[in-house]
Structure 1
Amino acid sequence: MDTQNLIDMANRIGDFFDSMPDREEALGGIADHIHRFWEPRMRRALLASLDEPAAGGVEMSAIVRDALVKHREQLTPAAPAAV
């Protein structure tokens, strides 16, 4: 999974919601969009990037980072069922 591409996509979502006057609503909108439209592998990779030091490339915007931190539990996919 290309984490830099995921961060870029998340930043574009953040750009849309950043224009909202209510920041809490914007953070919830970002989290809701990612939860509803991103598959679990994408969400796991994006959330994992929060814990990794930035290694150049695309930097996550502040509003996206805030949304992911605030809604991390909601965004974390359930563990796959054991077979």
Structure 2
Amino acid sequence: MPGQGTARVAINANVTGPELDEQKGLANLVKGMFSMYRNPAAHEPRLHRTVTDEELLELLTTLSMVHRRLDSAHVVP
């Protein structure tokens, strides 16, 4: 959510407290995933970072959920 809290892509009506919390939570989840998996080759040698098959499946499952939520989102003018 850029700026002071106005969503550019809304996953709900963003009217009630729970809707605002849901919007903020999804944004934080996406930011966290990006921070965790950002271009690790540029930050540390790949030999020193083990990613298991289980971790990759968990990431893909989470990305699938985020993608599904964004598919039904709308751009805020």
TM-score, L = length of structure 1: 0.31
Bigger relative CO (Cα 8 Å, ≥ 6 apart):
2
Structure of higher CA gyration radius: 2
| Structure with higher helix content | 1
TM-score, L = length of structure 2: 0.32
| Structure with higher strand content | 2
